């Protein structure tokens, strides 16, 4: 546990004092825990784990078999405008804590005039295989919001699936979606979905 606390705190760029404040304990206690002189009681261990963004099991040194999807991804979407298919791609930041992943767009993908907008959402990871969640537009006048469903590659390197949601003009729509660490791969995955499984729009 001492090594886990020290390593995770350093990964987050936290000082012992900052961790102590976040966990609601004295800084000297954090020093003792990291030195291996003492072990925290359960309630303090829970507070420390929460402050470090890990589970109590991970704090105790038990291995985690959960894939880590944090970082920047490229997401490609099949949608339509005025009856014509449109394929977009945008950069999205994934921030993961346990099985919950927060999504925030870094780029619009296409211009505002063509229907591009910023959005945020959440995905929940199930059995390191399925991701289910929601998205909602960040831009005030944009009404778009809906659901997301992805199947994760066995090694966590990409994901493919679809979205269902309310379009800018109030219609319920659906389309393929994909995500990968590069723009090219995200677009290739989306093209493969459309080729293999048809156009659901």
pLDDT tens across 169-182, in order?
A: 678 999 999 999 99
- pTM score of the predicted model: 0.68
Q: Count of domains in the chain?
A: 2
- Is 77 in the same domain as 174? yes
Q: What string of DSSP letters covers 124-141?
A: EEETTTEEEEEEEE-STT
- Is 101 in the same domain as 173? yes
Give the residue from 135, 134, 184, 185 showing the smallest Cα distance to 159: 185
pLDDT tens per residue across span 119-167: 999 999 998 899 999 999 998 778 889 999 999 998 899 999 999 998 7
Whether residue 94 contacts residue 101, with contact meaning beta carbons closer than 8 Å, is answered with yes
pLDDT tens per residue across span 53-68: 888 888 988 766 578 8
- Domain range for 108: 71-197
- Is 77 in the same domain as 137? yes
What is the DSSP pairing of strand 158-166 with strand 145-152? Answer: antiparallel
pLDDT at position 110 is 85
Whether residue 201 contacts residue 85, with contact meaning beta carbons closer than 8 Å, is answered with yes
Query: Which pLDDT band holds residue 83 (cuts at 50, 70, 90)?
Result: confident
Distance between CA 183 and CA 51 in Å, rounded? 33
Distance between CA 160 and CA 44 in Å, rounded? 40
């Amino acid at each position: 546990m001492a090594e886990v606390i020290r390593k995770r705190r350093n990964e987050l760029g936290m000082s012992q004092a900052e961790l102590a404040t976040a966990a609601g304990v004295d800084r000297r206690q954090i020093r003792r825990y990291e030195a291996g002189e003492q072990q925290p009681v359960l309630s303090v261990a829970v507070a420390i784990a929460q402050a470090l963004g890990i589970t109590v099991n991970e704090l105790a040194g038990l291995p985690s078999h959960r894939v880590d999807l944090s970082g920047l991804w490229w997401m490609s979407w099949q949608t339509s405008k005025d009856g014509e298919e449109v394929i977009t791609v945008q950069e999205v930041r994934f921030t993961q804590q346990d099985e919950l992943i927060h999504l925030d767009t870094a780029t619009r993908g296409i211009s505002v005039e063509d229907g591009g907008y910023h959005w945020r959402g959440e995905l929940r990871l199930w059995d390191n295989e399925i991701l289910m969640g929601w998205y909602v537009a960040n831009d005030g006048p944009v009404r778009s919001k809906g659901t997301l469903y992805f199947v994760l590659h066995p090694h966590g390197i990409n994901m493919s699936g679809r979205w269902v949601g309310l379009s800018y003009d109030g219609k319920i729509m659906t389309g393929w979606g994909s995500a990968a660490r590069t723009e090219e791969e995200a677009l290739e995955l989306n093209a493969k979905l459309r080729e293999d499984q048809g156009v659901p729009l």
